[in-house]
Chains A and B, each alone.
Chain A
Amino acid sequence: MTTLRTRPARSLQNPWLSRINKQFPDIVPPIIATAIFLVIWQLFSLTPGATLPGPVQVVRDTWILIFWPFFDLGGTNKGLFWQILASLQRVAISYVLAAIFGIGLGILIGTSKVMSKALDPLFQLLRTVPPLAWVPISLAALRQNEPAALFVIFITAIWPILINTAVGVKQIPQDYNNVAKVLQLTRKEYFFNILIPAALPYIFTGLRIAIGLAWLAIIAAEIVMSGIVGIGFFIWEAYQNNNVSEVILALVYIGVVGLLLDKIMAWIETLIVPQGQKS
């Protein structure tokens, strides 16, 4: 009986936190960790000779940007919302193109041994080229910032999609193929009933990796290609103007958006990938 009496007494000490912890057990630990991180950061920035501002300084410097994300003063002088939206639009266009070409080529390579042998070395070579290395050549080829940025994102995002799709198609269990052969399924029936469902988990793995890489590439592309609206150029401009706090704020935004993109893809995956195929 004593234990029963002490328990409610303990939870009464902090009823709000305990209820939160009970409802969202995944939230409290990261919040605490983040708080500790911020404190340590603040402490470091207070040391003599610190070059970067602490979190308090950052918020103090950038509160206008934080609270007014939607202002638009023309040119590249826009709120962070517009900056991010511009970047996201580029990502969306290139990513969709990368997905279409990547899945298409992946299926082609996965199903055809000849194509696989022919193209695999080329793709393995190209996929290791870092996004930044594509910038000069795409600028040289396309002559304009906007299409060049799109191309850089596209070329970065396509490889994981393509390679994962190809692996997924190649790894369709022989049993399923045997079933298809014995039943003499037509190409169309095979494609929709066996190939796509069997390869979907792999395709989505590729898509998730690709969205991260695409977001990564946009920053690189925009930093180099000056004079366009976008979060990448925003960072570069802030740096040029010695606004380190703005750079840090932008980094936080980039991180949050990247995280959200990944979560969205994961959520779409749960919607599309059929039952029994989730790894």
Chain B
Amino acid sequence: MSVFVAVDNIDKVFDLAGGGQYVALKGIDLQIKKGEFVSLIGHSGCGKSTLLNMVAGLDLPSDGVVTLEGQRITKPGPDRMVVFQNYSLLPWRTVRENIALAVNATMKDLPAGERRAIVEKHIDMVGLRPHADKPPEMLSGGQKQRVAIARALAIRPKLLLLDEPFGALDALTRGNLQEQLMQICEENHVTAIMVTHDVDEAVLLSDRIVMLTNGPESKIGQILEVDIPRPRKRMEVVEHPSYYSLRSEMIYFLNQQKRIKKIRARKTAAISRHGLEKVNLEIGFVPLTACAPLAVAKEKGFFTKHGLDEVTLVRETSWRGIVDGITGGYLDAAQMPSGMPMWLTLGGHENRPLPVATSLTMTRNGNAITLDKRFYEQGIYTLSDFKAHLHSTANQQHRMGMVHPSSMHNLLLRYWLAAGGIDPDRDVSLKTIPPAQMVVDLQAGTIDGYCVGEPWNIRAAEEGVGFTIATDLEIWLGHPGKVLGVREDWAAAYPNTHIALVKALLEACRYCANPANSEEVREIVARREYVSTDLAYVQIEDPNTSTCSLDRPMREYAHHQFYADSAINRPSRTEQLWIMTQLARWGDTPFPRNWVEIVERICKVGVFSTAARELGLDISYTRQPIKLFDGTVFNADDPIGYLNDLAIKRDFSIAEVVLDARRPLVAA
């Protein structure tokens, strides 16, 4: 369908009383199709009402145009009727007279009888027949809003604009009215734009949800498609599989906006001290057992020891938060899944390459694949059992969870499935779910299994909702788990800080790896400010390797490896290259023709070596090929040949990835 309403690159600038200017909206682009219901959501003052007013014509953009069916909007008109938040009924007119005023004013060419009929029809439509002759002040809030909706629909607008229509109503009334509005819109094929604060309301009513970032210079942060079929019923919508992910997506976005606002208000400058360029660092992490080096470095004073006096660890609930923190520039460094630096560098995030470097592998292993307990009960113990099961139930939708497209879990899970002849995109569908939510989703039955870091596999096993079908021992023993990631421009700006940070974390890694400290490390990691879980779920270097077995010893278990003399913390070019091939294999990023350069830029081996040398650690290193459980050897000299040899893969592209953009920090 063609574009019905087009908001074309508009800016809105308000002149301030003091002579300054306030840029409310900047570069807003939005196309709306006929019959579509679009919601605008964002925090107060983000300019969503301003945007609506510009579509209404009550306000004009400072730059850019808004068009309706190709006609430029320059003034308000009845073809774009607005339902105002405070109803805007005329108190000296009855319900009928209020609607009649609109009808009489806009349909002058119709005979009076027909106009009267229209008014009566719309009074009935919103069920206000008994109140038709009452003045608005005798009606409840919900009834008033119904009058406003009837008035708006009575004049047959091409576009219905709703400005927080249900904001002032109680929850019950709001719910009823939402359903009524939805029904009316569906029956009359109304195209509508609604401004709202309410996340649930947006999901229930909209085809698309447009989320605006905070002002000044608000822009469209993200657009969500609501794929819930119509006609919708409130209860069915709540049970739809997409509902919670849409909802959490919006809540994440809104919270993120709040945080950015706070960060903007703080405006910290870099504090340099002890010969370091910056000692006030914000380091992001996700609550996992693998965050131990960060937690230990903070609690045991390794950061301070190396001069980093003001390190704040920022707890993110999902990897998404780490990505936004790094791209937004408000995190200095972050714990990252080992594929994330590559993924960001190759433009995995919004197709914008952002050079990110890693100089330290913080953990290896510690991952496992968990399946729903019912598979175990059906006698599925191995990958081939699982494949047979999938084939026998091909008509069912199988979903598996992973934490982020760039995480090792995703790559390992896909590799594992593909090695067993299961296409990870066609035979199952993979969903991105925050680690802490995995067990809950497994329990609720929305996913059949997942691949995630500890403690979430142990936890599923202990709680009896799942079982571990494969661990690192069966897939790739010693694979990189979490790495330290920083933006390349950050590394260039703060080279000494970077080395100090690697030193502190490397020492923390060594501390974690010492069996004598394992009880203390477990206790630190389980604390509220880190993983916040029961101590029993945090396992580190446990001599008993079969913790995961349930009623029978089933799995040997590869624990997190934080440090070893064999340079396991050294960033590995070969591993990065393998990750590069896997990302290309599954179509996440193109395979870069300049892969040698890219790998070189991502792996800051020099920083690691300097740090290790200054710590007096003897790090010997021998380059080894990677060999995974299926026996395939990864040859670092011919990645493209390797890719071509793989049986199950997507159509991958080979392209030059240009990494020159030194973008300024966005949020700072």
**Interface, chain A (partner B; CB < 8 A):** 173, 175-176, 178-179, 181-186, 189, 193-194, 197-198, 274-277
Contact = CB atoms under 8 A, between A and B. Distances in A.
Nearest to A190: B105
Nearest to B155: A183
Nearest to A183: B105
B90 A275 contact: no
A182 B78 contact: yes
B58 A175 contact: no
Contacts of B93: 193
Given A175-B84, A193-B101, A276-B136, A181 B76 contact: yes
Contacts of B137: 275-276
Given A175-B84, A175-B86, A184 B105 contact: yes
A277 B137 CA distance: 10
Nearest to A181: B76
B106 interface: yes
Contacts of B193: none
B82 A182 contact: yes
Contacts of A197: 90, 92
Given A176-B88, A193-B90, A183 B58 contact: no
B60 to A, nearest CB: 12
A184 B90 CA distance: 16
Nearest to B92: A274
Contact of B81 (A182, A194, A277): A182
Q: How large is the interface on B (under 10, 10 to 19, 20 to 34, 35 or more residues)?
A: 20 to 34
Interface in B70-118: 75-78, 80-82, 84, 86, 88, 90-93, 101-102, 105-106
Nearest to B82: A182
Interface of B: 56-58, 75-78, 80-82, 84, 86, 88, 90-93, 101-102, 105-106, 135-137, 155
Given A181-B76, A182-B56, A197-B90, 15 more contacts: A175-B84, A175-B86, A175-B88, A176-B88, A179-B84, A181-B57, A181-B58, A181-B75, A182-B58, A184-B76, A184-B77, A184-B106, A193-B93, A198-B92, A274-B92
27 contacts: A173-B88, A175-B84, A175-B86, A176-B90, A179-B84, A179-B88, A179-B90, A181-B58, A181-B75, A182-B80, A182-B81, A183-B101, A183-B102, A183-B105, A183-B106, A183-B155, A185-B105, A186-B105, A193-B90, A197-B90, A197-B92, A198-B92, A275-B137, A276-B92, A276-B135, A276-B137, A277-B92
Contacts of B88: 173, 175-176, 178-179
A73 to B, nearest CB: 52
Contacts, number: 60
Interface-centre pick from A175, A186, A189 (highest chain B CB count, 10 A) = A175
Nearest to B157: A182
A185 B106 CA distance: 8
Contacts of A184: 76-78, 105-106
B92 A178 contact: no
A57 to B, nearest CB: 54
Contacts of B81: 182
A202 to B, nearest CB: 14
A233 B88 CA distance: 53
Contacts of A181: 57-58, 75-76
A182 B91 contact: no
Contacts of A179: 84, 88, 90
A186 B108 CA distance: 12
A189 B106 CA distance: 12
Contacts of B57: 181
A275 B138 CA distance: 10
Nearest to A173: B88
Contact of B58 (A178, A185, A189, A274): A178
